[in-house]
Amino acid sequence: MNRKYPVMLDLRGRACVVVGGGAVALRKVEGLLECTESVRVVSPSIHPGLAALVQAGRVEYLARAYAPGDLRGVFLVVAATDDPDTNEAVWQEAEALGVLVNTVDDPPRCSFYVPAVVRRGALTLAISTDGKNCALAAALRRELEERFGPEYGPLLDLLGELRDRIRREERDPSRRKALAERLATAGLDRLVACEGLPAARRRAEELVAQRGATA
């Protein structure tokens, strides 16, 4: 089985290009803008939503067809045109230059897939079917959106804050691990959802204060 290696990419400061200007390209650009400010669109014409992003200064726009050389110095490219020849040319150049490439609806011409994603602050849940059934991935994403509500954003911020404190105050690695597991399974998510973040913080502080019993 040709399994894919799941990875979270840090795109800050890395040049990303979307070739294409339609509704699909807009969705790809919006996804990239969640992770980087360096996005360029190459297309003779663009969707009104893309035009708004260009006007707002959030996206660089080259108002022409893709041309060889457009991927020099690029880290990642998405080929999102309705022209198979253009998509093939983008794939070929990306492969030659070692650029990560996703060709929309063409899994054989992808070095990476874009999963269905649920974001809750620092929490990211991603679902991939290796390009076999995007509708199933979307259905699973909707289920996860219901299961993991907005409370997980502030909860993760709280747990990250406490992690740093525990690292400073607790020298024993086994106790640090035990306490981290205790915090993760203490129902703090329900407290945030039902009573608010201050209630969850109080409960978490109690658990941290009891860490001597977590060995």
How high is the pLDDT of residue 191? 95
Which CATH number belongs to the domain containing residue 121 in this structure?
Answer: 3.30.160
Number of domain units in the chain: 3
Residues 5 and 37 in one domain: yes
Q: Using 50, 70 and 90 to split pLDDT, how confident is the model at 212? A: low
Give me the helix-helix angle, 197-209 and 152-169, nearest 10°. Answer: 20
Domain interval for residue 198: 152-213
> 168-187, pLDDT tens digit by residue?
988 899 999 999 999 999 99
* Of 148, 166, 200, the domain-final residue: 148
Check if the beta carbon of residue 170 is closer than 8 Å to that of residue 176. yes
Nearest residue to 15 via CA among 87, 89, 99, 80: 99
pLDDT above 90: residue 211: no
Residues 18 and 100 in one domain: yes
Check if the beta carbon of residue 46 is closer than 8 Å to that of residue 24. no
Q: What is the pTM of this model?
A: 0.83
Residues 134 and 93 in one domain: no
How high is the pLDDT of residue 31? 95
Q: For residue 27, how many C-alpha atoms fall within 13 Å in the half-sphere facing its CB?
A: 10
Which CATH number belongs to the domain containing residue 89 in this structure?
Answer: 3.40.50.720
Conformational region of residue 106, where left means phi above 0, alpha means psi within -120 to 50, and beta covers everything else: beta
Q: Using 50, 70 and 90 to split pLDDT, how confident is the model at 1? A: low
* Count of C-beta atoms within a 10 Å radius of residue 42: 25
- Listing DSSP states for 94-117 in one string gives HHHHT-EEEETT-GGG-SS---EE
Residues 172 and 187 in one domain: yes
> 4-62, pLDDT tens digit by residue?
888 999 999 999 999 999 999 999 999 999 999 999 999 999 999 999 999 999 999 99
Please, what is the end-to-end C-alpha distance for the chain in angstroms?
41
Burial of 81 (0-12, 13-18, 19+ CB in 10 A): buried
Q: What value does the mean pLDDT of the chain take? A: 93
For range 91-113, the mean pLDDT = 95
